[in-house]
Each structure stands twice: as structure tokens, then as C-alpha cells.
Amino acid sequence: MIDVPPGTIWKRQRVLSPILFFTICDSASAGSASFYPADRIHAHSDGTGILVLFMALFAVASVAAVGRFYLNRFRRKRTLDSALTTERHIRQLTPYECLQVSDFFEREKRSRHLEGYDNKSGKVGKDVFRVSGPARSHSVSTSRGVIGCYQSIAGIEMLVPTSAIPFLQDNHNSAEFVMVGDLPLLISLNGNFQIAAQAKEDGETSIEVNRIGDTSVRERLFPKDVQADCAPSNDGGFLKSIRSHQLLASNETVSGSDVQFIFSIYWSLLLLSCFLGPVLLILMTGLFGYLLEGLDLALIMVLFVWPFIEMFLWTLPAVLLVWITMRLVLPDSHLMVFDRKKQQVLFYCKTGDALWVEWDDLYAMVETTDWMTSYGWPMQETFLELASANRDSSVRRSVRFAYSSEEKAFGAWRSIQAFMNEGLDNLPFHDPGSKTERLNRDMDQPPHQTLLSWLWKCLVYWFFGGPVAPRLGSWVDNQRQESVWTRISDLEN
């Protein structure tokens, strides 16, 4: 019982209403306890004890199952250590095979999130090992699906590619694997699956198709052979700028997408905080009919949340400053400079190593790969590869530019040819590909749709930072290019 002085009961009621609102469940449970007779309460207590015992047994069984699963994984890793012996070593991969295995591993791990392979990385080892034995699949699953699934052959846990799983046999398998970092990767299975089909690069154009339909199409390109059927383009923005007789290219692009993401997170949290009070007012008024209490609760919530909102908004400039600093300080992983005057190409990496290659000796390749993920989803990857030597060389520098189609990859190569052979002085227009970047261009044009649709575009436009995001990304990209040009001039001097 709460003692309240006379004449203040209604004033205190509005103050205590939020507390009463959040304790209604406790009051209801206490009322139900006083309503039921004593024998019903004892029966209920006995049932609760049985339920707690059942849940405890279930928890112990779950922990034991998970512990057994990971104990078996530990044992299979110990088996791997004993398998890496000279008796099981059969040969070494060629440089071309190492490149094929590396490309295959990078594609395969993208869709293997359940097994935890998506965060694996490492250098492909040249030693090939052979094992024979039964294949087993080990998984941990719940009523909502599979948590983790792993395959082992001859007691060794290894990454079995999705395209090799149909050829696994229960009792006997002849498998070859290599080490990618500390992870065994299956490269050959029972004569039906093989990652590295060729030991050396063969031909100007090649098409490879495996047993389940995954294809890889490669086409060699030569500096002096003009691609007359392709128009110069710069989709992706990898061709940066032209200075006098030099063209700068980088496989990293700085766009406003990161800034748009930052703005969207801030706006989302701000709107959530601002609408929390009105939502509570609607719930109190609509569901319980307490208008005055709802107003008090909404006001209390706004006053409570606003200091956090103010502090949160002040962090936005700091986050943008950190993003700009990281983008300006961290160097590009790979750079290329095409010198039209010298007819040479410079390969420059972030470690500071530089290599000049004659334009006529430049290796160029467009490769398109289609494959099926472990989830049954078709994937496609297209890239333009420029290198100092062919894929059979063990010492080579290479840069890859990823594109969404072959036409865009050929268009970029045609732009490079036009610069080196035909005196191109202006880069083709880079058409932004993302929806938010296209929206930034459309906002400067008069609306050609309904007023409601145009207003929605305006809201989305400012939700993603408006003109700040693309202009800030363009400024950072220009500053990075200036620093690169300074480094290139230092190399020449």
C-alpha cells in the first residue's frame, strides 16, 4: 500500500502510470496466484519442476552433441598432420595449375558460409597429396536448419567443392588435395572431378566445361590487334585519369557508396529515436485509452532519448573524418601506368615494387566463369587480366579488373588500346551503376513521373546523403590520384 497525501492522488497517478504500465504482467500473475486454490498451485509447481528438469537434460544433451562434433573435427585435423608425409606426396603443381586452384578457391569459398570457409585465405601450396578411403559428412543441425556441415575423406576434413560432391562414394574414394593456407582443398576425385584440367596454358581462346556444367571461357587479347567491334568504355571507373602521355589505372575505386551507407545508418537511428515517443503515445491511447498518461510517457521517453541522439549526431563528422583518413592513407593494392611515349606499362604495388614491361609484351586476357553455388544459385564472374607474362610463368605481376559482362571488359581494353595506339586523350564517360548514384543524377532533372513518385525519390535521395556522398567520394578519389601521380613522377626521376 502506497501512502499518498490528500489532494495529490491524480497528479501522482500520471507520474506512476508508466510504472504501472510496465508492471501489469507482474500484477496479473500475482492476481492469478491468489485466485487459484492451494492444490492447483502445488500441482503447478510440480509441473514446473518437471519442465525445468527436462530443459536441463535437453541442454546437457545439446552441449554433449556439439562437444562430440568439435572433438571429431579436432581428431580429423590431427589425422591431417600425419597425412602430410612424403609417402602420400605424389607431385607438384605447375604455375598455371596454382593459378587455376587459387581462382577456384576464391569462387568456392564465397558460398560456403555454413562451413565457415568464407573467411579462409592463404597461399596455394605446390605439393599434391593423395589419400584413399571412405567419405563422411558431419553436420550440426536444429529444427531451423543446418548450422554447420563438413566433409571428410579417409578421416581428413577437407573442403570438398560443390561440383565434386555428386561424385563422392561412401566406402572408397581416391582423392588428391593441396593445402591453401592451413586448409586442405580437394582438387581431384575418382577420375570424375578435377580443378586443374590443364598443366599449361594452351591456345589463345579456350573453353572448359566440367561434369556438372560449370564453364570457363578465356580469350587472349593482344596489344596490336584492334577490337574493331567494341566501343571504348570505362564501366567500373578503373581507368582513372590521363596526364600528358600517361594513363593511370587501378583495381580499387572510391565511390560515395560508403558515405551513403553511413548517412543511411545515422538517419535510421535518428528516425527510430524520434518516432519512439509517438509510437508509445499511439499504443497507450489506442490500446488502453490513456491519453494523458500516453502524453506523459511519450514526453519522458523523448527527454530521456534526446541526449543520446545529440551525442550520436556529433559523432557523424568524426566517422566521416575517419573514413576520409583511411581512404587517403591506405594505398591502392595494385596500380598500372600506361606510358604512350615510351610504349611501356608500369606495374606498381603497395609495397613499393615497380616493374616496367614493353607494351607489345603485355599479357591480356578476358575470362568469364559460370558456376553453381552450394545453395543452387548460379553465379558469373568476368574480369580483364593484365600481366607482365603468361600464366605459365612463376614470376609475374598481374592486375585484375572485375566487370559485370564481357562487353564492358572488352570496352575497357579497347580504351587502353585507343590510348596507346591511337592517341586517345579523354577517357570515356563512366556511367554509375548503382541505384543511388543514378538517383543522384536524376535529381538535377525535372520530374517526368507523378508527384508522389518524385517526392519519394527526394526522400530517398536525402536519406542517402544527397549531393554530399558522391561529391565527397569524388574528392577523395581525386586526392588519391594526386598522391599516386606524385609517386609515379618520383619513380621516373
The residue that leads in pLDDT, 339 or 312, is: 339
Q: Is the same domain home to 441 and 334?
A: yes
Instruction: Among 163, 194, 225, give the residue marking a domain's end.
Output: 194
Answer yes or no: is 1 within a domain.
no
pLDDT at 199 over 90: no
What is the rounded average pLDDT for all residues in the chain? Answer: 77
Residues 6 or more apart whose CB falls under 8 angstroms from that of 386 comprise: 336, 345, 362, 363, 364, 398, 399, 400, 401
Alpha-carbon distance of 431 to 337, in angstroms, equals: 23
Alpha-carbon distance of 368 to 404, in angstroms, equals: 10
In this prediction, residue 147 carries a pLDDT of: 57
Answer yes or no: is 112 within a domain.
yes
pLDDT at 371 over 80: yes
Q: Is the same domain home to 143 and 246?
A: no
Q: Is the same domain home to 252 and 132?
A: no
- pLDDT, one tens digit per residue, over 438-478 is 444 454 444 456 777 777 778 788 778 778 888 888 888 88
The set of long-range contacts for 72-81, using a CB threshold of 8 Å and a minimum separation of 24, is: 72/138, 73/138, 73/150, 73/157, 75/155, 76/152, 76/155, 76/156, 76/157, 77/157, 79/154, 79/155, 79/156, 80/156, 80/157, 80/158, 80/184
Answer yes or no: is 443 within a domain.
yes
Answer yes or no: is 131 within a domain.
yes
Q: Is the same domain home to 146 and 102?
A: yes
Answer yes or no: is 45 within a domain.
no
Percent of the chain with pLDDT over 70: 79
- pLDDT, one tens digit per residue, over 247-305 is 999 887 766 677 888 888 888 877 777 777 777 777 777 777 777 777 777 777 777 77
Instruction: Among 194, 217, 235, give the residue marking a domain's end.
Output: 194
Residues 104-131: what's their mean pLDDT?
A: 84
Q: Is the same domain home to 487 and 389?
A: yes
Answer yes or no: is 271 within a domain.
no
- Per the structure, the complete domain to which residue 106 belongs is given by 81-194
C-alpha cell, 411: 570496352
Alpha-carbon distance of 299 to 302, in angstroms, equals: 5
Q: How far is CA 109 from the centre of its chain?
A: 11
Q: Are 335 and 249 in contact (CB under 8 A)?
A: yes
Q: Is the same domain home to 247 and 369?
A: yes
Q: How many domains does the chain have?
A: 2
Q: Is the same domain home to 170 and 86?
A: yes
Q: Is the same domain home to 211 and 129?
A: no
C-alpha cell, 107: 569462387
Q: Is the same domain home to 150 and 246?
A: no
Q: Are 473 and 259 in contact (CB under 8 A)?
A: yes
